[in-house]
Amino acid sequence: MRAPTPIPEQDAGHALPLLDIRDLTVEFATRRGTVRAVRHVNFSLAKGETLAIVGESGSGKSVTSYAAMRILDRAGRIAEGAVSFSGLDLRAAPEATMRDLRGREISMIFQNPRAALNPIRKIGKQIEDALLQHAQVDRAAAAGKAVAMLEQVRIARPRERYHAYPFELSGGMCQRVVIALALACRPQLLIADEPTTGLDVTTQKAVMDLLVELTRERGMSTILITHDLGLAAAYCDRVVVMEKGEVVESAGSETIFRHPEHPYTRKLMHATPRPGVTLRALLPEGSGEPRPAPASAPDVDRQPLLTVENLVKDYPRQGARGALSKLWRSEPVPESDSFRAVDGISFSIGRGESVGLVGESGCGKSTTSSLLMRLIDQTSGSIVFDGENIGDIPARRFAKMPLRRRIQMVFQDATDSLNPRYTAARAIADPILRLGNLSGRDAVRARCEELAGQVGLPLDLLDRFPHQLSGGQKARVGIARAIALKPDLVILDEPTAALDVSVQAVVLNLLQDLKDSLGMSYLFVSHDLNVVRLLCDRVIVMQAGKIVEQGPSKRIMVSPATDYTRELLAAIPHPPL
Amino acid sequence: MSDSVLSAPAAQNGSPAVALLRHARYVVSENPVTGLAFALFLLIALCALIGPYLVPHDPLASDTAAALKPPSLAHWFGTDQLGRDIFSRVVVATRLDFAIALSSVALVFAMGGLSGVAAGYFGGWTDRIVGRISDTIMAFPLFVLAMGIVAALGNTVTNIVIATAIINYPLYVRVARAEANVLRDCGFVQAARLSGNGEFRIVLTHILPNVMPIMMVQISLTMGYAILNAAGLSFIGLGVRPPTPEWGIMVAEGAGNIISGEWWIALFPGATLMLAVFCFNLLGDGLRDLVDPRRRT
């Protein structure tokens, strides 16, 4: 075991910041020459302070912290500037020193907790490994310390969970284990890179509360890297806003919200969905043509477009015990061998109405949308679409039916939903070629160009492949494909979850415009009530396969009827306004 | 509308062919060994195409007066027992060996690729049947299986091609199956279903093109193996028969002479064979870099 590297003693008072980054410039060598990902970044972090670095994708917020920890990719290097940690020059420090510092003095939490844990090692053992690595305890005491750490991150029954493997834990629990791992050696600085992206709002709140509390308890400093201004302001003392590799603004979180100075900060704040703001107000001021005021809520037809009654979907339970393991274990076999993902839900969607379907991951909302799309068959219940029970038609046969063109979907991950070998035009044309009644190359091409115009995709991008398009452009291609056949109902499966806030604002507005001009109905599936209410007249809240509440979105936002909805609302991070 | 959403990610680079050429140049400059492999491949292809018109001697003409001569200016690789020029024979043999390898790889690519993709996409019985067939093939020592197939079907070049294809089948099936199995759950396959594509159309137009890149790598890796296999079968007297120039036969003919000091008869065809296999293996690494989108930054 290595002897711990001595850290220069801090002089009394707060003269010396814990982390000081001066004039940092990071370069990446790429095929198109050197790219400066971070340019002349300056900031410092005092002991016990919580700092947020906020920016959209590509702003260099992660690269800055990776550079500070010296864990850049092979192609990246620090070109200029100085990084000092408690007075120690990290840029000049030998690799052995850095290895010792990482984990013991500076810890990091990554975005995907599952990827950060070794899948085939017990979580308790993984915490022990970190402790032993940095010679914090001896072997005999390690197990006890690991259990104590699990307890500190509020994992129930830590002694049992010590023996759990990562796949046996939920995403939120895995993130807690990662936090336990990061804090095991009592580091002075914790860098959390989007620690809650991909977690539900309620889990996000639990994880962030825990993180802030532990930080305070231990007098640690924390850097939170996030794209979410609301989260940053709710949990951090100070906010640094980055744009295109440069720090554009740095101030206390209250100040930055009350008096944002830089136009970019203002734009970012403007685009963040928050209570009491309309969809149109998310767009930057004075942008584009004046839009027609959204038509007053279209009179909901007497006969709804889609009616769902007592819809049930059972899945065979994973890992139902086989005969051999029944012999092995004496515990009773679970009474049912199936898992009910959707448990007797009923609702309806009117013509021209947009309905939000909200719930946490695993609540059955994705299964519901797959059922409505006729991608899978339900166990029981009926789905009546425009007077016809489409639930009776097997999913396999539905693909080629004329009804198919009337129900379409926009997928969550625009990148994943586009065939990497199809150009944008080919992707948009796919439904037209299969189900449309257009014939001839020119007619199809003309329709593609018309659709591209409707979704605001420049025509010259039509011949590009997905990897040559930005996230927002890919989202537009996905939307164009979904509306190509003029469907009556479009299911939006978290269409903006993977997008930056400013792009999200634009895409949400686009969806609203399309709905107004084409008269479609939307079912907006999401976990974020704040986003859903912007677009939807009515909201359905789901929990554990059941509908717990449904009603007008205004009413649900203001006076939720059930505890679960209240909990969901309370978990949304609110900036101190 | 917001500019940041609409702005292009980077300046576009002309036609796809130009872009591919540029990418190839980048890969070669990153890894010079790949460049060497490409050069070697071009040389082999050139020999296969126009070799017979370039060689200094007739590969079949025997000259007993000049038998068993060591390498010299007149005979670069020396002469064999019948006085035939080994250099000419080695060059002329390229076409036959190359043709056997290429056609067997094309055959197995079509068979293994299609059935593997079907197995990975449809799962269930398709998967079980395809899987068991390839397991059965893998249960044999592959070279012995190839010998058996050629012995049973008849001693012809066509049957060598078929045998080589069959023993490579499991490799292709596994690669295609694994890839299709992952792609099956991708969003774009669901989207294709929503667009009204039937299952077979999804397999052919959505899955198969996306499996291609990784299969290309597999092709190059098995090319070397196919050449080795064809030469091996000829070495033990199956398939190609003397006096046709073929690397395996030539090594076999020269093997007995090594002990009496005429090392060049076996060495030169053997070394050429080794070089060809080596070239295709290196090419596989290069191709992998060429088709890997993560390298296209």
DSSP string, A466-503: GGGS-HHHHHHHHHHHHHTT--SEEEEESTTTTS-HHH
Task: Encode pLDDT of A383-435 as tens digits.
Answer: 888 888 888 888 878 877 788 888 899 988 888 889 888 889 999 999 998 88
Q: Say whether residue A499 is in contact with chain B using an 8 A CB cutoff.
A: no
- Diameter of chain B by CA atoms? 87
A45 near A236, Cβ under 8 Å?
Answer: no
A359 vs A567: CA distance, rounded Å: 11
Q: Say whether residue A74 is in contact with chain B using an 8 A CB cutoff.
A: no
**CB contact (8 A) between residue A287 and residue B7:** no
Nearest residue in B to A503, CA atom: B5
Nearest residue in B to A471, CA atom: B5
pLDDT exceeds cutoff 90 at B169: yes
Return the bridge partners of A307, or none. A348, A384
Would you call the peptide bond into A298 cis, given omega within 30 degrees of 0 as the criterion? no
The structure tokens 């991909």 sit at A198
A565 vs A359: CA distance, rounded Å: 9
pLDDT exceeds cutoff 50 at B1: no
B85 vs B89: CA distance, rounded Å: 6
Strand A189-193, strand A221-226: pairing: parallel
Which has more pLDDT, B141 or B16? B141
Residue B287: which pLDDT band, with cuts at 50, 70 and 90?
confident
Mean pLDDT of all residues in A531-537: 86
Taking contacts as CB-CB distances below 8 angstroms, the residues of chain A near B297 are 30-31
Q: Say whether residue A57 is in contact with chain B using an 8 A CB cutoff.
A: no
- Of the candidates A287, A413, A434, the beta carbon closest to that of B195 is on A434
A382 vs B145: CA distance, rounded Å: 57
Q: Which of A75, A69, A74, A81 is nearest to A25 (CA)?
A: A81
The confidence score (pLDDT) of residue B23 equals 72
- Cβ burial of A123 (10 Å; 0-12, 13-18, 19+) is buried
Q: Say whether residue A535 is in contact with chain B using an 8 A CB cutoff.
A: no
Task: Encode pLDDT of A186-208 as tens digits.
Answer: 888 999 988 887 777 888 888 88
- Residue at B177: amino acid letter: R
Among A336-340, B63-67, B176-180, which is the least confidently predicted range? Answer: A336-340
**In this prediction, what percent of chain B has a pLDDT beyond 90?**
23
**CB contact (8 A) between residue A472 and residue B8:** no
Mean pLDDT of all residues in A315-327: 56
Q: Is residue A63 part of a domain?
A: yes
What is the least distance, in Å, from the CA of B104 to any CA of chain A? Answer: 28
Residue B130: which pLDDT band, with cuts at 50, 70 and 90?
very high
Cβ pairs A/B, distance under 8 A: 100
pLDDT exceeds cutoff 90 at B170: yes
**CB contact (8 A) between residue B296 and residue A467:** yes
The confidence score (pLDDT) of residue B133 equals 93
Nearest residue in B to A372, CA atom: B194
Interface of B with A (CB under 8 A): 1-2, 4-10, 12, 26, 186-188, 190-199, 201, 206, 209-210, 293, 296-297
The confidence score (pLDDT) of residue B52 equals 82
| Structure tokens belonging to residue A28 | 């990446």
Q: Is residue A409 part of a domain?
A: yes
Whether residues A223 and A119 share a domain: the answer is no
Q: Is residue A286 part of a domain?
A: no
Whether residues A476 and A519 share a domain: the answer is yes
**CB contact (8 A) between residue B210 and residue A421:** yes
Whether residues A459 and A548 share a domain: the answer is yes
The CATH number of residue A536's host domain is: 3.40.50.300
Q: Which of B289, B291, B283 is nearest to B45 (CA)?
A: B283
A402 vs A431: CA distance, rounded Å: 12
Whether residues A476 and A502 share a domain: the answer is yes
Q: Which of A483, A307, A346 is nearest to A407 (CA)?
A: A483
Which of A186, A214, A238 is the C-terminal boundary of a domain? Answer: A186
Whether residues A535 and A475 share a domain: the answer is yes
Task: Encode pLDDT of A486-507 as tens digits.
Answer: 899 999 988 887 788 888 888 8
Mean pLDDT of all residues in A550-556: 87
Among A7-21, B108-122, B123-137, which is the least confidently predicted range? Answer: A7-21
- Residues listed for chain B: 297
Instruction: Enumerate residues 336 to 395 of chain A having a beta carbon within 8 A of any beta carbon in chain B.
Output: 373, 375
The confidence score (pLDDT) of residue B103 equals 93
Residue A286: which pLDDT band, with cuts at 50, 70 and 90?
low
- State the total domains in chain A: 3
pLDDT exceeds cutoff 50 at B11: no
Whether residues A441 and A543 share a domain: the answer is yes
Instruction: Work out the mean pLDDT of chain A and round it to a whole number.
Output: 82
Task: Encode pLDDT of A50-82 as tens digits.
Answer: 999 988 877 888 888 888 888 887 778 888 888
Mean pLDDT of all residues in A227-254: 87
Q: Is residue A248 part of a domain?
A: yes
Which ranges of chain B would DSSP assign to H, the alpha helix? 3-6, 16-30, 32-54, 86-122, 124-138, 142-153, 157-183, 187-194, 199-201, 208-235, 247-255, 264-291
Whether residues A456 and A550 share a domain: the answer is yes
DSSP-assigned letters across all residues of A410-467: E-S-TTTTS-TTS-HHHHHHHHHHHH----SHHHHHHHHHHHHHHHT--GGGTTS-GG
Taking contacts as CB-CB distances below 8 angstroms, the residues of chain A near B196 are 399-400, 404-405, 431, 434-435
> Using alpha carbons only, how large is chain B's radius of gyration in Å?
23
Q: Is residue A300 part of a domain?
A: no
**CB contact (8 A) between residue A502 and residue B2:** yes
Taking contacts as CB-CB distances below 8 angstroms, the residues of chain B near A418 are 187-188, 191
**CB contact (8 A) between residue B196 and residue A467:** no
Q: Say whether residue A461 is in contact with chain B using an 8 A CB cutoff.
A: yes
User: % helix / strand / coil in chain A, to the nearest 5?
Assistant: 40, 25, 40
Whether residues A447 and A374 share a domain: the answer is yes
Q: What angle do CA A307, A313, A316 make, to 5 degrees?
A: 170
Task: Encode pLDDT of A97-120 as tens digits.
Answer: 888 888 888 888 887 788 888 888
Q: Which CATH number fits domain B94-297: 3.90.1300.10, 1.10.3720.10, 3.90.1150.110, 3.40.50.150?
A: 1.10.3720.10
Q: In what order do the strands lie in the sheet with A33-45?
A: A33-45, A19-30, A76-85, A88-89
The confidence score (pLDDT) of residue A477 equals 92
Whether residues A35 and A74 share a domain: the answer is yes
- Please report, for chain A, how many H helices and E strands are present, in that order: 21, 20
Whether residues A209 and A172 share a domain: the answer is no
Whether residues A204 and A167 share a domain: the answer is no
Q: How many CB atoms lie within 10 A of CB B69?
A: 18
Q: Which of A22, A141, A149, A125 is nearest to A83 (CA)?
A: A22
Instruction: Work out the mean pLDDT of chain B and round it to a whole number.
Output: 83
Name which of A417, A457, A477 to mutate to probe chain B: the one with the most chain B Cβ atoms within 10 A of its Cβ: A417
Q: Is residue A298 part of a domain?
A: no
A128 vs A180: CA distance, rounded Å: 11
Which has more pLDDT, B26 or A346? A346
A154: Cβ contacts below 8 Å, ≥ 6 apart: A176, A206, A210
Q: Say whether residue A480 is in contact with chain B using an 8 A CB cutoff.
A: no
Which has more pLDDT, A502 or A346? A346
**In this prediction, what percent of chain B has a pLDDT beyond 70?**
92
Return the bridge partners of A356, or none. A524, A539
B20: Cβ contacts below 8 Å, ≥ 6 apart: none
Contacts 24+ apart (CB under 8 A), A396-403: A396/B199, A398/A374, A399/B193, A399/B196, A399/B197, A399/B198, A399/B199, A400/A435, A400/B196, A400/B198, A402/A435
Q: Is residue A440 part of a domain?
A: yes
Q: Say whether residue A506 is in contact with chain B using an 8 A CB cutoff.
A: yes
B95 vs B101: CA distance, rounded Å: 10
Instruction: Enumerate residues 187 to 226 of chain A having a beta carbon within 8 A of any beta carbon in chain B.
Output: none
Taking contacts as CB-CB distances below 8 angstroms, the residues of chain B near A473 are 5-6
- Residue at A406: amino acid letter: R
Name which of A34, A419, A421 to mutate to probe chain B: the one with the most chain B Cβ atoms within 10 A of its Cβ: A419
**CB contact (8 A) between residue A503 and residue B4:** yes
Whether residues A92 and A166 share a domain: the answer is no
Element (H, E) at A68: helix A61-69
Q: Say whether residue A139 is in contact with chain B using an 8 A CB cutoff.
A: no
Structural domain boundaries enclosing A198: 15-105+189-272
Q: Say whether residue A430 is in contact with chain B using an 8 A CB cutoff.
A: yes
Q: Which of A171, A127, A130 is nearest to A152 (CA)?
A: A127
pLDDT exceeds cutoff 80 at B129: yes
Q: What are phi and psi of A292, to 5 degrees?
A: -65, 140
Instruction: Enumerate residues 239 to 258 of chain A having a beta carbon within 8 A of any beta carbon in chain B.
Output: none
Taking contacts as CB-CB distances below 8 angstroms, the residues of chain B near A478 are 191
Q: Say whether residue A413 is in contact with chain B using an 8 A CB cutoff.
A: yes
Q: Is residue A4 part of a domain?
A: no
Residue A290: which pLDDT band, with cuts at 50, 70 and 90?
very low
Nearest residue in B to A416, CA atom: B187
**CB contact (8 A) between residue B296 and residue A420:** no
- Of the candidates A420, A434, A456, the beta carbon closest to that of B196 is on A434
**CB contact (8 A) between residue A470 and residue B9:** yes
